[in-house]
Amino acid sequence: MAAMLNLPHRGRFVLLCLLWVALWEAGAGQMRYSVPEEIEKGSFVGSVAKDLGLEPLALAERGARIVSRGRTHLFALNPRNGSLVTAGRIDREELCAQSARCLVSFNILLEDKLSIYSVEVEIKDINDNAPRFGVEEVELKISEMTTPGFRIPLKSAHDADVGENTLQKYEINSNDHFSLDVRSGVDGNKYPELVLGRALDREEEAVHYLVLKALDGGDPIRSGTSRIRVTVLDVNDNAPVFTQPEYRVSVPENTPVGTRILTVTATDADEGYNAQVTYFLEKNPEETSEVFELKSASGEITITKSLDYEDAKFHEIDIEAQDGPGLLTRMKVIVTVLDVNDNVPEFYMTTATSSVPEDSPPGTIIALFNVHDRDSGQNAFIACSLPENLPFKLEKSVDNYHRLVTTRVLDREQFSSYNITVTAKDGGSPSLSTNAYILLLVTDINDNPPTFPHTSYSAYIPENNPRGASIFSVMACDPDSNDNAHVTYSLAEDTLQSAPLSSYISINADTGVLYALRSFDYEQFRELQLWVTAQDGGNPPLSTNVSVSIFVLDQNDNTPEILYPALPTDGSTGVELAPRSAEPGYLVTKVVAVDRDSGQNAWLSYRLLKATEPGLFAVGLHTGEVRTARALLDRDALKQSLVVAVQDHGQPPLSATVTLTVAVADSIPDILSDLGSLKPSVDPDDSGLTLYLVVAVAAVSCVFLVFVIVLLALRLRHWHTSRLLQASGSGLAGVPASQFVGVDGVRAFLQTYSHEVSLTADSRGSHVIFPQPNYADTLISQESCEKKDFLSEDKEETFSQVNSLPNIPVSYFAKRNKFT
């Protein structure tokens, strides 16, 4: 208090306001209303919003609703004005029978803060029930010897109402012999008694008819009647008398049906028939009459229906003892039902969440429920528990309400759902328990990116692959679900040889299969480095990259390329020198070749396919070196032609050939002198060969003339040129063997026409070869000599070209015939 006094004025004011609000909420925790029974549906009961200090519309905004076990259907909340109204017909007698007060309790829940407020509504009685007798007509037998003042208890009427509306008084029609006296019992009930006012005379009147009327205190007054028939008898003047004025017995609620719980006894001072006592159950509530049975002859009370402490804690049984003539005595038996632990706790789920996001913070409310045990005392004490190792806990609230809340952040990838078992156990001995099962689904949040099984991938594809060929497939996994786990694949932007990577490779966005968009060439590039991106469908999306290396495998698609000797562009062949004094193994030249393939496809081997003098030269298998295989002889030809093949080791292998011309001489002047000394052979067979040559030249000339005539017809404007060509052709046709020598001051080039006749084993066939002339920097155009015609005998002759020796300062070529 001293600290409060030391606060500034504004601070003390705020503290007082908070204290006032706390006291108001404590008082508002219990709301009490009253309403008469049988009012119309929707009738106003009380203003809940006002009592809670809220605006009328605030109840709906805060999610107010009635929650409780029992008869919650009797009332409802009006969301427009925040009032409590009736939801249907209310019958007080049905709800509370004849209890002095009829209270209906329930709770109001505000869902925004899960606040609970207790409400108690008292149902006021109205006079809607008239007094009723158990029987419409009662027959009484009275001895004529009965003295005035004798009292005869009558059947009481029953009025379901209470208070002023219940039974208030009895009336009887006027009669000279009888009057009515009403006695109030210790329980507050009124018991009518018929009082004999004047002595009876059976001979004067044997039967008396009376009407007993019961009236209540309502407005208007309701009443019920019962007819009484009084028969006057002789002698019997004693009524049965019970041995006790009131019987009490305690019975456990689990007592078996058929068990005798009590025997009542009444005696009659009369004798004979007048002393025979019979027992009856007088007016009793229906629920009591169904539970107990009274044996009329012996007075034994037995249980006919199982007792239930939770339904009724005690029973009051009104018993009548009647003798033979009809005199009776009334007595009450009170049966107290003892509670046993026969009820398991019961769950009433107020609200429950079926799913919760996995990123919900600790303390998130999953369910709100109430647990109730219909037993009493220690048997009704309830303890709730959860299994161990679950990320949940129970928080107890008021009136046995419990909240199930999370203790930590959930992870759907570990557990996608929880089947939570809540156990409620009472304090009985032995204790009883029950379980409530709550299925909670953990909804997915996109908190996991796709992951690849490997950090990088390597794939191989042979070159010359078809377009659209499948190369490789990658797959990423995402532990999330639904769209958050839907993975799409794409390629990171990059370039290869100044072209976008997407023009080489594509990827299927759904399957992750990589496809080749073009045919790869190992000789252009041997490896592709790319990044594949896997992205999920979450919002925002998460992605992961992985490196993929694609290696192009070599195929044998390149023939060996000969680097030396280089093939001249004019079609001539280089000449290599081999001195006549060369010993076996002399290195003449070396064929150099490469293969653009790799590995085994680029391993090269060399072999000699064809030679002018077989056995004179040998080629190294792996080196390509051309060496003499033996010593040169005088009979060996001056010019040796070698065809060397270069072959790789692919499957299938590819090869290339080169033709080498080897001049056998010690020096270039020797070559020229050897060529000048050569004379035409006078072999007899030469005349036949010459004839063949002349015929071939003539045929070529004829064909050429026909061509010229056609060309003249088509191109009249060029007839001067055509005539020159015709004259030139006629001149060539007349020369059987031509020899032209051109010499200038710097360098001489010769045009050589040579023919080579090869006689085969078949005497009917021979080969005549007309080589293409070699021109180098001369005035004669090569175009005029490109026309080649081939002459053959018996269609088996072939023609080949023999190139002249290039790069010789002074050249002399003579016509040379060689027969092999």
- pLDDT tens string 52-84: 888 888 888 888 888 876 665 788 888 888 898
Residue bearing the bigger pLDDT, 431 or 2: 431
User: What pLDDT score does 717 carry?
Assistant: 61
Q: Give the DSSP letter of residue 792.
A: -
Q: Helix axis angle, 719-733 relative to 684-714, nearest 10°?
A: 170
DSSP, collapsed to helix, strand or coil, labels residue 516 as: strand
Q: Quick check: do 456-553 and 591-666 share a fold? A: yes
Taking domain 129-234, whether its CATH number is 2.60.40.10 is answered by: no
pLDDT at position 423:
95
Looking at CATH, the fold of the domain delimited by 591-666 is given as Immunoglobulin-like (2.60.40)
| Band of pLDDT at residue 794, cut at 50, 70 and 90 | very low
Is the pLDDT at 624 greater than 70? The verdict is: yes
**Confidence bin at 567 (pLDDT 50/70/90):** confident
Check residue 38 and give its pLDDT.
Answer: 84
- In the structure, what pLDDT confidence band is assigned to residue 234 with cuts at 50, 70 and 90? low
pLDDT at 568: 66
Residues belonging to the chain: 820
pLDDT band at 11 (very low <50, low <70, confident <90, very high): low
Q: Are strands 115-124 and 30-36 parallel, antiparallel or unpaired?
A: parallel
Distance CA 561, CA 229 (A): 145
Specify the pLDDT at position 692: 66
Per-residue confidence (pLDDT) for residue 667, from 0 to 100: 67
Q: Which pLDDT does position 604 carry in this prediction?
A: 95
Bigger pLDDT: 13 vs 185: 185
pLDDT above 50 for 790 = no
The span from the CA of 630 to the CA of 633, in Å, is 9
Per-residue pLDDT tens for 427-474? 988 899 999 999 999 999 999 999 999 999 999 999 999 999 999 999
DSSP string, 551-604: EEEP-S----EEEESPPPTTS---EEEE-TTPPTT-EEEE-EEE-SS-GGGG-E
Phi, psi of 604 (to 5 degrees): -110, 145
Which of 232, 207, 275, 229 minimizes the C-alpha distance to 142? 232
Where residue 777 falls among pLDDT bands split at 50, 70, 90? very low
**Fold annotation for 456-553:** Immunoglobulin-like (2.60.40)
The predicted structure's pLDDT at residue 101: 85
Q: What is the pLDDT of residue 561?
A: 93
- Six-digit token pair at 464? 């010359």
768 versus 699: the higher-pLDDT residue is 699
pLDDT for the residue numbered 672: 57
Q: Which two tokens stand for residue 325?
A: 């003539």
CA nearest to 283, candidates 98, 151, 95, 149: 98
pLDDT of residue 19: 47
Task: Compute the mean pLDDT over every residue in the chain, rounded to the nearest whole number.
Answer: 79
**782 CB contacts (<8 Å, ≥6 apart)?**
570, 773, 775
CA dist., res. 292 & res. 25, Å (int): 49
- Least confident range from 160-164, 316-320, 781-785: namely 781-785
Cα angle: 667, vertex 670, 676; to 5 degrees: 150
CATH classification for the domain delimited by 346-443, as one of 2.40.110.10, 3.30.365.10, 2.60.40.60, 3.40.50.300: 2.60.40.60
**Res 738 pLDDT > 70:** no
CATH architecture of 26-124: Sandwich (2.60)
Q: 510 pLDDT exceeds 70?
A: yes
In degrees, to the nearest 5, what angle opens at C-alpha 403 toward C-alphas 355 and 429?
A: 120
Could you state, in order of their start, the residue ranges of all structural domains in the chain? 26-124, 129-234, 235-339, 346-443, 456-553, 591-666
Share of the chain above pLDDT 70, in %: 79
pLDDT of 16: 53
The number of helix segments (H) and strand segments (E) in the chain equals 9, 53
Residue 796, pLDDT score: 35
Whether pLDDT at 584 is above 60: yes
Q: How far apart are CA 240 and CA 322, in angstroms?
A: 6
pLDDT the model gives residue 580: 86
pTM summary value: 0.45
**Of the listed ranges 76-85, 94-103, 462-471, 481-490, the one predicted with least confidence:** 94-103
What is the model's pLDDT at position 295? 93
Residue predicted with more confidence, 418 or 168: 418
Most confident listed range (212-221, 384-393, 701-710)? 384-393
Q: Taking residues 616-632, what's their average pLDDT?
A: 93
Q: What pLDDT score does 674 carry?
A: 55
Model confidence over 341-350: pLDDT tens digits?
888 999 999 9
Regarding beta strands 300-303 and 314-322, do their DSSP bridges make them parallel or antiparallel, or are they unpaired? unpaired
Q: Report, as an integer, the average pLDDT of 673-686.
A: 47
pLDDT at residue 693 is higher than 80: no
Residue 681 has pLDDT above 90, yes or no: no
Q: Which residues contact 236 (CB under 8 A, 6 or more apart)?
A: 141, 143, 270, 274, 323, 324, 325, 327
184: pLDDT strictly greater than 60: yes
Higher pLDDT, 732 or 324: 324
CATH of domain 235-339: 2.60.40.60
What pLDDT, on the 0 to 100 scale, is given for residue 720?
53
The mean pLDDT value for 357-377 works out to: 92
Identify the top-confidence range among 226-240, 456-470, 669-683: 456-470
- Average pLDDT score over residue span 612-635: 92
